Chains A and B, each alone.
Chain A
């Protein structure tokens, strides 16, 4: 089955700096890669996603890149703000497999004011 590894497990940055979180996946059939943000005590929420036919996607301060050959994808947050502090999860899935996602172990991002 699919295996997703996520690094780093914790990340601390100064407000205004950039943050990068990286994930690798094992199943070359995976074609959908979402990222979720989970604030303390709350539900995970989808913040951005990318499909295998796209190399990069951007939404304001966040962007995701995908390298299918190397089977890795990354989340980039620019101009970080204290409200970006949360746990971020990457995931991999393919639509023909019931859409079930395999998640990374999460990255705890702390943005220091």
Chain B
């Protein structure tokens, strides 16, 4: 998974339970992002972070929380307040240096409510 690692690959959540998705990168990228992907839809931004100890809400932040205590790590917690959490979650990172501004994505976590 060269550079950005998400775990677990599959996650099952019971009703009312909080779960945390892990995202770690060793690319020395400044910014990290969490997107949600639903079938037939594009990627929707949940949260993003440009620097350590700072993060902002994206378009669909309700029911989610994040932290950025280290440059390499950006975990996402799906709380019980998220009423429809079943989806494919993608973590991404990028640098703010010159040149390529594109994202490097992790391999994703598929979350299912049981």
Contacts and interface: CB of A to CB of B under 8 A. Distances in A.
- A, B: real partners: yes
Interface of A: 1, 4, 6, 9, 32, 34, 36, 42-46, 49, 89, 93, 95, 98-106
Nearest to A5: B42
A44 B105 contact: yes
Given A99-B96, A100-B48, A100-B58, A89 B103 contact: no
Interface string B61-96: 000000000000000000000000000001000101
Contact of B90 (A44, A49, A102): A44
Given A1-B59, A43-B90, A105-B40, A100 B45 contact: yes
B21 interface: no
A49 B41 CA distance: 21
Given A45-B105, A46-B102, A106 B42 contact: yes
Contacts of B105: 36, 43-45
Contacts of B108: 43
Interface string B99-114: 0111111111000000
A101 B100 contact: no
Interface string B16-58: 0000000000000001010100001111110010100000101
18 contacts: A9-B40, A36-B103, A42-B107, A44-B90, A44-B103, A44-B105, A49-B101, A49-B102, A93-B101, A95-B96, A98-B48, A99-B101, A100-B48, A100-B58, A103-B35, A103-B42, A103-B43, A103-B44
B42 A105 contact: yes
A109 to B, nearest CB: 15
Most chain B CB atoms below 10 A, which of A32, A36, A43: A43
